[in-house]
Amino acid sequence: MPAWIAVVGILLTLAVVELGYWRGLMSKPKALPRPPKGAEGGPPEAAAPPAGQPGVTVLTLAGRPEAGYQNGPAGEARFNGPAGVALGPDRAVYIADSRNNCIRKLSPDGSVSTLAGGPARGALGDFADGVAAAARFSGPSAVAIAPDGALLVCDTGNHRLRRVARDGMVSTYAGGDTERDDLGRPTGGWRDGPAAQAQFRYPVGLVVDSAGAVYVADAGNHRVRRVSPAGQVTTLATVGNEEMGAPTELALTSSGQLWVADTAGGALWFGPREGPLQRWQPAKEEKPLKAPAGLAAAGNVLYLVDAGDHCLLRLRDGRLSLVAGSREPQGSGYADGYGNLALFSSPAGLAIGRDGDLYLADFGNNCLRQIKVEPGLQ
Amino acid sequence: MRRNLLAALGLVVLAGLACLAYLQSGKPRLVARAQGPISALAGEPGLGVAWLEATPSGDRLMLARRWRTPRLLLAGRGLTALALAEGRAFVAQRESAGGGHLLRLLPHIRKPDTLATLKGEVPQMVAGDGQIAWLEERPAALPAVPFVAAAGPVTVIRSVPQQSGAISIVEVLPAESAPTPRSSAAEGRVRLLGIAGQRVYWLEHRHKLLDTETCLISCPAAGGPATLVASEPGFQQALLLRDALVWTAYSQEASPSESHRSIKRQPLTGGAPQVIADWLAKDAVPIGDADRVYTQDPELLWRLEARRGEQRVLYSRAYGAFSAHVIGDDEYLVIGERKSWSITERPLTYWARLRHLLSG
């Protein structure tokens, strides 16, 4: 008799405790306050393009700030970190779409297509020569047109220069194999000599002269290199060192001067195309450059992009002037419009068209921008 | 008569204990006061709870077995990530010259052995299925050149068997290196969720112009093609259970949907995700152990009744916590207030409360 009393008692006790426990759980939570509709959480509306001073107009030619990979009409196309831009003889614009590991083409009819390569998942690109779709790149960051109309590409992650022929066949223009790290990434190297055996380390910019010589910003080696039309690679000059500075973009003026942007060092270098280079000094009253990146020359006028100040500048007769964007702190963003009311985000590659219009790879905004400069202001 | 009396006495004692247990429910128990900020906490029901605390004299790995006083397992500089599994502690130690070591410790042996050499900062580590996986952040090859994607910093997910063996590269991802907050859309913030079925699960926050996208991804622990399990708009959080993935999503009922969160659950074997809770606060985070799911927001801890599709408040907090963890039947809160850091333990089930009561 006592045993069953104890069992019943224990069960009863447990039931009482559990009931209390569940009662606590069953208590209905306070209703969470609902915010007024539209008061929060919704995406902010995109700002309308601002009006400003005329003369220089910035437009988005293809893509939009949302990154992605999509071909089609320019407005629907998506890029991912466009870093370099070049204008072809066919009036097409070629874009080094660095994070999509491919070269894109904006045709004169306004459609975007993939010329060579294709996106790869993760941070590692790949390497393969071959027909356009089968070719593979690793973070291409600059493009230029060779005298024969072929496209030369800085295949930065593969430490090579690549050539895309007009028929779409991709081959290696300069740069050989190098060692690989534990992730399988080639580490690059520094070796002059025949193009096939030469070594580069993160080449990020290039320019081609009328004779077909290619000047390369070999950023990882802190050197400017030259690939002769005969295929010999030589070292022209040193820019920066392991601690500070590296060449990142190049331009040749009509007087034959070679200009070199040093993004990390916040400097511009110039000199004869055979070297040596000297550092360009802005006037004392001028705001110093923060992170010069893309360069393009129109005659002896140099246009340059300051990726740190998110703006486009012009260097004429030794004086800097603002063309588009803002040099104010917090001046990055995305806005089309007139001159200094337009906004960029880490702009990178720059090219200039025959009509004087500028084409800018807006890296941070994942799009291609066009800067129309009225003839009187060019 | 005497036996009846004894039975009644037993009954009274039990009832008293049960009432005490009930009365004590919700009262947190102090596990330890730390000598500095607590950077990581991990637990295993059989082993206890361990944490890393940064003291002025260096970092300390502490272990508190159940009902015992916390004790020092390892002291040194640069301890950054921690995981417990199968009775062992795994900790990442950064070297001053760069890189570091993944150390393995048995609680009763003070001298750790090296399981892997690290080549970057390790912010997080997870354990499961006989494997350890960790995030390794490697610096940019060309620092200060913002537009060279190929030379940018990378986040590497690597794994190694807990018993030692070959180190695998699970995935290599572009790291967060955006020069402006809204650029670099493909670069994501990565958080490991755990290892189940010999697969590593993680989430990536991919920044877009106006919003963030959260992707849940898995990949074989030994390396191989990655699989996108799910993606949700917005900045979401996720939790890996023994047999399912649980994550937050914009509410399906609220308007606007971003104002509240729902919780979705999808079995690891596949199938469509099911919404198991809705109308949660928009900063709700799912936490839990292998089987149970809770969500926390700054004020409340909720328990989700997945089968019934209900959510119930377990208790409301009167103080802020840096982080909350559910290990077994207990919730651990890491609390930091005015140079005072502590860890408290709170039972979440009746049996855990009774156990706490019996253990004093």
The pLDDT assigned to A42 comes to 31
Task: Say how far apart CA A75 and CA A62 lie, in whole Å.
Answer: 5
The amino acid at residue A98 is S
Q: Which of B10, B178, B209 sits opposite A6 (nearest CB)?
A: B10
Q: Residue B203 has what pLDDT?
A: 92
Distance between CA atoms of A57 and A180, rounded to whole angstroms?
A: 46
Which residues, numbered 226 to 245 in chain A, qualify as contacts with chain B under a Cβ-Cβ cut-off of 8 Å? none
Sign of the alpha-carbon dihedral angle for B285, B81, B37, B41: positive
- What is the interface pTM, i.e. ipTM, of the complex? 0.71
Residues of B in contact with A65 (CB under 8 A): 182-183, 209
Cα–Cα dist B138/B157, whole Å: 11
A17: left (phi over 0), alpha (psi -120 to 50) or beta: alpha
Mutate one of A21, A27, A32, A249 to test the B interface: name it (highest B CB count within 10 A): A32
Q: Under the phi-then-psi rule, with left for phi > 0, alpha for psi from -120 to 50, and beta for the rest, what region is B261?
A: beta
Looking at beta carbons, which residues of chain A come within 8 Å of B259? 34-35, 40-41
pLDDT at B10: 85
Helix (H) or strand (E) holding A13: helix A2-26
For an interface test with A, which of B148, B204, B357 has the most A Cβ atoms less than 10 Å from its Cβ?
B148
Q: d(Cα A206, Cα A204) in Å, to the nearest integer?
A: 7
CA–CA gap between residue B28 and residue B347 (Å, rounded): 8
Cβ within 8 Å of residue B187, ≥6 positions away: B173, B174, B175, B176, B177, B178, B206, B207
CB within 8 Å: A83 and B259: no
Low-confidence ranges of chain A (pLDDT < 70): 1-3, 13-54, 121-125, 330, 376-378
Rounded alpha-carbon distances, angstroms, from residue A351 to A164, A295, B87, B332: 18, 7, 61, 58
Distance from CA of A78 to the nearest CA of B (A): 11
The Cα-based distances of A228 to A131, A206, A216, A225, A274 in angstroms read 25, 13, 11, 10, 12
The whole-number pLDDT of residue A284 equals 85
Interface probe with A: pick from B147, B208, B228, B278, most Cβ of A within 10 Å: B147
Q: DSSP character for A48? A: P
In terms of phi and psi (left: phi > 0; alpha: psi -120 to 50; beta: otherwise), the region of A88 is beta
Mention every residue, 6+ apart, whose C-beta is less than 8 A from residue A268. A259, A260, A261, A262, A279, A280, A289, A292, A304, A315
pLDDT of residue A245: 87
Q: Mutual orientation of helices B350-359 and B2-24 as an angle, nearest 10°? A: 110
Q: Is B27 on the interface with A (CB under 8 A)?
A: no
Q: Which helix (H) or strand (E) holds A22?
A: helix A2-26
- Residue B142: which of A2, A10, A219 has the nearest Cβ? A219
Q: Exposed (0-12), middle (13-18) or buried (19+): which is B225, by Cβ within 10 Å? A: exposed
Q: State the pLDDT at residue A41.
A: 32
Model pTM score:
0.78
- Chain A CB within 8 Å of residue B205 CB: no
- Name the minimum distance, in Å, from the CA of B233 to any CA of chain A: 12
- pLDDT tens digit at each of 360 positions of chain B: 778 888 888 888 887 777 666 655 556 788 899 988 898 999 888 788 999 999 989 999 999 987 678 999 999 999 999 999 988 999 999 998 778 999 999 877 778 999 999 999 999 999 999 999 999 998 888 876 777 878 888 889 999 999 988 999 999 887 653 333 322 333 458 899 999 999 999 998 876 656 778 999 999 999 888 899 999 998 898 999 888 999 999 998 888 888 888 889 999 998 899 988 888 877 777 887 666 677 766 666 666 655 455 566 665 655 555 677 888 878 888 887 767 888 988 887 777 777 777 765
Residue B110 neighbours by CB under 8 Å, 6+ apart: B73, B74
| Helices marked H in chain B | 2-24, 350-359
Flag whether residue A366 sits within 8 Å of chain B, measured between CB atoms: yes
Tell me which chain B residues have a C-beta less than 8 angstroms from the C-beta of A96.
none
Residue among A183, A184, A186, A122 nearest B173 (CA): A122
Residue A42 is nearest to which of B25, B184, B258, comparing CB atoms?
B258
pLDDT of res. B187 = 42
Chain B residues with CB-CB distance to A184 below 8 A: 169
pLDDT at B291: 62
What is the total residue count of chain B? 360
What is the biggest distance separating any 2 CA atoms in chain A, rounded to whole angstroms? 114
Q: pLDDT at position A13, please?
A: 67
Chain A nearest CA to B338, separation (Å):
30
